[in-house]
Chains A and B, each alone.
Chain A
Amino acid sequence: MKKNQVKIWVGCGIFCIAAVLLSVWYAVTFNDSRLVTPMDFGSYSFNTKDLPMILSISLTCVYALALFIHLFISVGKSKKNVAKTNMTRKVNPKLGFLGLLGFLGLAGFWTYSAMGAVFPFVFFLFFGFFGFFYEGKMSGIFMDERFRENVARAQLNTYKITFSITLIALVILCQGRLFGSLEYTLIATIIVLSLTLALGIFLPEYLLYRYDHDDQTEEGGE
């Protein structure tokens, strides 16, 4: 993506978030928190005061969908380019900060206690985005045979580690008696699986960087 395009997408995202926040404030202040707090949609009847919430949520959904499609197309183009030039894709290491989104997973504790929803725990998966930091450091370099061997080695080690963690965690959690409650055990399972998948996203990039930069200090050009 070009810088101008990124600015436009970020600007639209900020606009959508601002619209949602504003409409939530409006709904809480003037509309008895309709569509903000959980409600029974079976008996829902339209009210004109609901419009800001409906519009802002629709706008945000359209934005998210458009962003997803755009990113999907961009990734496809980038992969073609990588295959053509034999260079790693260009990634800004600052994208690693997206890993902070993983903390959204903590929202699961609140949503579970407030409305019994556990899906936000899946957001722990975003911790995997910290891998962009290392991918960014390795971006735009030529992929020779040693690089490809290192990629395969990093992926293999990642699979070994993540499968081991998953197996151990499942063996322990599947006893079902860890917290004295099956529900808590399932929540722990979601958390462990999300964190393990995040590790599976992060680790190949980190290991590849380590394999490529081992004894970097000894390197000397001639």
Chain B
Amino acid sequence: MAEFECRLKKYRQLKDLTQEQLAAQVGVRRETIMRLEKAQYNPSLKLAIDISRAVEAPIEEIFIFD
């Protein structure tokens, strides 16, 4: 899996969303959000875009690839 840094937690907390709420918004399970935040799961482009829209932050600022 490609290594990357994920700043989803920061942006999610800025929007005052729980993992559960964000998961419901983007149509995944809470466990998936949890793994995304730990950068243990590489999301599909669609999920990345959905998350970016949900937290209202640019995609390249949430997922940072070297």
Main secondary structure of the interface of A (DSSP, over half): loop
Q: List 8 A-B contacts (CB under 8 A).
A: A145-B43, A145-B44, A146-B29, A147-B29, A220-B34, A221-B19, A221-B20, A222-B18
Chain B residues whose C-beta falls within 8 Å of the C-beta of A221 in the assembled complex: 18-20, 30
Inter-chain contacts of A142 with B (CB < 8 A): 28-29
In residues 1-53 of chain B, which contact A (Cβ within 8 Å)? 18-20, 27-32, 34-35, 41, 43-44, 47
Q: A145-B47, A146-B29, A221-B30 are in contact. List 16 more A-B contacts (CB 8 A).
A: A141-B29, A142-B28, A144-B29, A144-B32, A145-B32, A145-B43, A146-B28, A146-B31, A146-B32, A146-B41, A147-B32, A212-B31, A220-B34, A221-B20, A222-B19, A222-B20
CA distance A220 to B33 in the complex (A): 11
Interface residues of A in 60-76 (CB under 8 A from B): none
Interface size class, chain A: 10 to 19
Interface size grouping (class) on chain B: 10 to 19
| A219 CB within 8 Å of chain B | yes
Residues of A within 8 A of B44 (CB): 145
A219 touching B43 by the CB < 8 A rule? no
Bound: A147/B47 CA distance, A: 13
**CB-based contact A219/B31 at 8 Å:** yes
- Chain B residues near A212: list those with CB within 8 A: 31
Check A219/B34 contact, CB under 8 A, given A145-B47, A146-B41.
Answer: yes
Chain B residues positioned under 8 Å from A219 (CB to CB): 31, 34
